[in-house]
Structure 1
Amino acid sequence: MTEDVPRTTGSDAFLSVRDLRVRFSTEDGIVKAVDGLSFDVERGKTLGIVGESGSGKSVTNLTVLGLHNPDTSTIEGSINLDGQELLTASERELQKLRGNKMAMIFQDPLTAMSPYYTVGRQLSEPYMKHRGASKKEAKDRAVQMLEKVGIPQPKLRFDDYPHQFSGGMRQRAMIAMALMCDPELLIADEPTTALDVTVQAQILDLLKDLQQEFGSAIIFITHDLGVIANMADDIMVMYGGRAMERGTVREVLHTPRHPYTWGLLSSMPRLDSDVDIALEPIPGTPPSLLNPPTGCRFSPRCVFKDQVAGDLCTTVTPELGEGRDTACHLTSAQKQSIFIDKIQPRLR
């Protein structure tokens, strides 16, 4: 395995997140949902964030949008969007940015869209608010966007309610809503989870086409590595509220270096593999973020921690550096040896 050249970060970043920490107050205690997360997203590029449920993916991106309740959450660090610090921005400033400069495609459009208003009204109102457009101008723009995302007879469907759309059409309408004001940052939170494979492929192709047209930076959240392989330029693997590995799509999927990434890839079925080869699930369960493990968050489930000298894995938290890196105490030589001998044969 050859050593990958780290990508530069920071200077070209449209979104820069540094040492982000998000904690929630609950009846059971403090939930450390995100703990020291840093990443960049460049203009016109897609960052894929992958990991199991509860790893902090959605919490991170809701924090970017400023959608957490300040009475029950504590947020520290820095989120810089095109030179503007979001964590110190007022609610009024954030409202000007949401739906305008940054937008989100939610996982379930049926619950994200209001059942009491027509699809057309829900598309038009943000455009009138952010762009000062007239009702007619907003309707024309909404019909244009519905047509662009592939909704048949958009003028007629403009007055339909969300329940009158199929699942795939609602997701397309949600994408149209997010793109109404040409946002420079688009966050897609598992936008194809509930869709069948054919519609899923159509939605992914649509997002790629629209990104080329509008030049948006995209954060794509998913647990499906197959999806991310076709969508992202870079990948960040999250576990237990922390980043485990980061690199380009090719680096992370072809030469993964972290035991958690190895586990994700080894447990993923492949169409071109021998049907007799058994999948290897990751042992154990994700950690409780009320009382996360000391040291490496993944150490209780890691089958390679006995190769690390002493008790580093359970006492010292490994840090993720800039560019191509992993948060792991295994040495580079150990990672290379394990990957070549045990992991790479499974991925062929």
Structure 2
Amino acid sequence: MTTLTKTEDAPNPTGSDAFLSVRDLRVQFSTEDGIVKAVDGLSFDVERGKTLGIVGESGSGKSVTNLTILGLHSTQTTSIDGEIVLDGKELITAGEKEMEKIRGNKAAMIFQDPLTALSPYYTVGRQIAEPYMKHTGASKKEARQRAIEMLAKVGIPQPQTRVDDYPHQFSGGMRQRAMIAMALVCDPDLLIADEPTTALDVTVQAQILDLLKDLQQEFGSAIIFITHDLGVISDMADDLLVMYSGRAVERGTVREVLRNPQHPYTWGLLSSMPRLGGDTAQALTPIPGSPPSLLNPPSGCPFHPRCTFTGEVTGNRCAEERPTLGVGRASACHLTAEQKQTIFIDKIQPRLR
């Protein structure tokens, strides 16, 4: 059964007037092997008209967080604690009928793989029109016209004809555009994009990113953009949240985090990326080890078994004490501010040039 727990008021982690506020979110799944702690005490805000980027390796809790916001987890196997407030409405305690009014209307999601997210049995136009009819009470004729308008808006050629095509008749980039049209058909205030460009080639990826930015400017939506690609996020987001093992380990504006990262995990992500114009003979620096098991996460800092800078901290503090993420620009690390800056300048920055 889903556990519904409203936490006490927590400090605003970003200091902003949030349209979406997530406070101390904890999501656990019951499995045959035990309890999976998929999200473990996560807090963040998203402002209206702004984009929050969430980055991290697979299994860091990015997608689980955003499925939880939309209430898309099974109530039989999921335990949810914390607080999610969207435009003043608490979502964790909302019933299914209330969430049906929110999903696709107040908040919508663009899924990673449109071929599996779109039904093969219905035309693209019908799938775009259906939520519009449900939430606005529009007739089939009105909804069909709205679907054509949205297909045109997202750059589908000959929308009057393509509205009657099935998903398999669209290319990968066109299917993703159709998914975006379906997500935006009711002018949602919050748009969640879950790695929407992962399966696309770089040219189509750039087109989709430009499309999202243009549509955000037109509709004024808040966007949560989930990805593992820091190159993409640098072009899309205003603010950035770095997640690891179900927790936030660093937060700040995109400029702050990418230009002056303060957490060893963020250093690892940046060091492992190839760079345009970089020395092709220089080897990339991978993060050692593997992400921790969410069934049995390590004590203390979840990143300490893979961190090459644990020795900079005296004693066993990294292994025994969980670091906290402060308010505003912050990183959850036991290194002092002076140690972080010295390590970044001496050891990390030269790799990023």
| TM-score, normalized by the shorter chain, greater than 0.5 | yes
Paired residue for 2:236? 231
Q: 1:252 aligns with which of 252, 257, 264?
A: 257
Deviation at 1:8, TM superposition (A): 7.6
d(CA) in 1 for partners of 2:307, 2:240: 21
2:102 pairs with 1:97: yes
Gaps of 5+ in 1: 1-6
Deviations, residues 238-270 of structure 1 (Å, cap 9, x unaligned): 011001100001100000000000000000000
Flag the 1:111–1:8 CA change in 2: closer, same or farther, 3 A.
closer
Q: How does 1:288-299 map to 2 (within 5 A)?
A: 288-299=293-304
Structure 2, unaligned stretches of length 5 or more? 1-11
2:132 to 107, 127, 130: 127
**Aligned-partner Cα distance in 2 for 1:20–1:144:** 38
Higher mean displacement: 59-68 or 303-312: 303-312
Q: In 2, Cα distance between the equivalents of 1:41 and 1:290?
A: 29
Aligned equivalent of 1:56, options 33, 54, 61: 61
Distance, in Å, in 1 between the alignment partners of 2:16 and 2:343 is 34
SS in 2 for 1:13: coil
1:106 — aligned with what? 111
Counterpart of 2:112 in structure 1: which amino acid? Q
1:11, distance to aligned residue in structure 2 (A): 4.6
The residue number in structure 1 matching 2:248 is 243
The normalised TM-score by structure 1 is: 0.97
TM-aligned CA deviation for residue 136 of structure 1? 1.0
Match of 2:5 in 1: none
Q: CA deviation at 1:9?
A: 2.9
Aligned to 1:3: none
- The number of aligned residues is 342
In structure 2, C-alpha distance between the alignment counterparts of 1:276 and 1:169, rounded to whole Å: 37
Match for residue 75 of structure 2 among 58, 70, 76: 70
- Amino acid across the alignment from 1:33: A
1:194, 1:327 → 2: CA distance? 32
8 Å CA contact 2:242, 2:250 repeated in 1: yes
Give the equivalent residue in structure 2 for 1:4.
none
Q: Distance in 2 between matches of 1:11 and 1:132?
A: 35
Q: Alpha-carbon deviations, 1:159-186, whole Å to 9, x = none? A: 1110110100000000000000000000
Q: Is the 8 A contact 1:62 1:68 kept in 2?
A: yes
Match of 2:341 in 1: 336
Aligned to 1:170: 175
Specify the alignment match of 2:33 in structure 1.
28
The whole-number CA distance in structure 1 between the counterparts of 2:35 and 2:301 is 19
Alpha-carbon distance in 2 for matches of 1:157, 1:123? 12
Post-superposition CA distance 1:92-139 (Å, at most 9, x none): 000000000000000000100111111011011110010011111111
Q: Distance in 2 between matches of 1:315 and 1:207?
A: 43
CA distance in 2 between counterparts of 1:75 and 1:195 reads 33
Secondary structure in 2 matching 1:80: strand
Q: Retained in 1: the 8 A contact 2:289–2:306? A: yes
Shift of 1:10: 4.9
- Pick aligned residue for 1:151 from 146, 153, 156: 156
Q: Which of 177, 188, 192 is the matching residue for 1:187? A: 192
Q: What is the aligned-residue identity percentage?
A: 79
Matched residue, 2:6: none
Provide closer, same or farther for how the CA distance between residues 294 and 8 of structure 1 changes in structure 2, counting only shifts above 3 A: closer
Corresponding residue for residue 282 of structure 1: 287
